[in-house]
Structure 1
Amino acid sequence: MLDYLLNALITLFVTIDPIGLAPIFVGLTRGMTKDQRRQTAIRATVTAAIILYAFALVGEGLLGFLGISLAAFRIAGGLMLFWIGFEMVFERRDQRKMANAAKAIEEERTHDLADIHHLAIFPLAIPLIAGPGAISATILIAASAPSTLGVVGLLVIVGALVGSCLAVFLLAGPLDRMLGKTGRIVLTRLLGVLLAALAVQFVADGVTEIVRAATAGGI
């Protein structure tokens, strides 16, 4: 159980990357008052939590309804997570996130200031917090839970990580200045390598499961 929870914590922490969202949040909320930033942060994290909780609880059932085997989803999800890790190591993920954030800001400049709160949904909640990688990882981890208690533990971890996103958003300015450019680069690369290794394990587990099922069917 402890290994399962530790794996869940590491995988989701690296995938969601709360610290890496700090400079993006600063850019997205430029020009907002402190109260507006707080409201945006709360709305974004609550929305992301609901999305991840939903996929943790019904994701595996949804796959079954669509006729997708868990082994196939493990391989697909693992490949997706590996690509995210690759992007983190070579700094492509931050560039893409900043490009999406800049695009969202430009789109919102044509609206009233109240409309800026929609940024909490896109791109903050989706896809920056609850993106494809985080959703895939949540479904895979929930499906491999050893017991109901494991699923409860996963939900607690998701809540804690989304809560850490809220804390990072509220402290985004000071945190970004404290890490500095060098600190962000080092942290992103280390987390990227770790995520890539976990992704390979997902793929290996999926391939093993498919081979085992094919062998059993042949027998």
Structure 2
Amino acid sequence: MITLYERTDCPFCWKVRLALAELGVDYKSVASQLGAPHPEVRRLSPVGTVPVLVDGDVFIWESAIIIDYLDAAYGQGRLLPAGTLEQIRVRLLHAYSDKCVGPALRDLVFEKRSKAPPDWDWELIDASEQRWRDCQQWLEGTADSVIADSSATLSAAACALAARAGVAAAYGSPIEREFPALYSWFTGVTKRPSWHAAYPTSFIAVDA
């Protein structure tokens, strides 16, 4: 059986769980703590971060490559389309989620999970929310054909973006209704069985 070393609220781990749930692949989850990685994470990953997936003799410590592997080994092209151009679009959107959406949300998430509400830096939070809004605007106008269909298996990019949007919503900044295609897509994702199966059991927060 696959073993996934992970942190429940980590969006990189969350997207892997979504992919596993979309494909119906059973796995064993092993928790790794923020700032105190599981010993196997330290042993297997040169960067010491989660997720780390182990499948027999295969171990992978980068989330996008984990999803590539899951598609090749278990997905039969359900996470990544077969056509070269379509696959490039999905991969680029996946990269956008990791390289643009994640950094846009960083200050929002870090402020709210590391400090009590009276100590939040609202300038940082407001600037982060504006960057997230800019991402939503870009996605609304650029990615609708890739993420709009929630009836088929979610693509690798859709898994990544759904996890990021889920983190944003958990920290008080959900996708806005002014972006109707994106809002409708995400609403559909949250109704999928895979969403409920992969949803974090908790989020890091400081008690007020």
Give your verdict on TM over 0.5: no
Higher helix content, 1 or 2? 1
With normalisation by structure 2, the TM-score equals: 0.31
With the length of structure 1 as denominator, give the TM-score of the two structures: 0.30
- Higher share of residues assigned strand: 2
Larger RCO: 1 or 2 (CA < 8 Å, sep 6+): 1
Rg larger in structure: 1
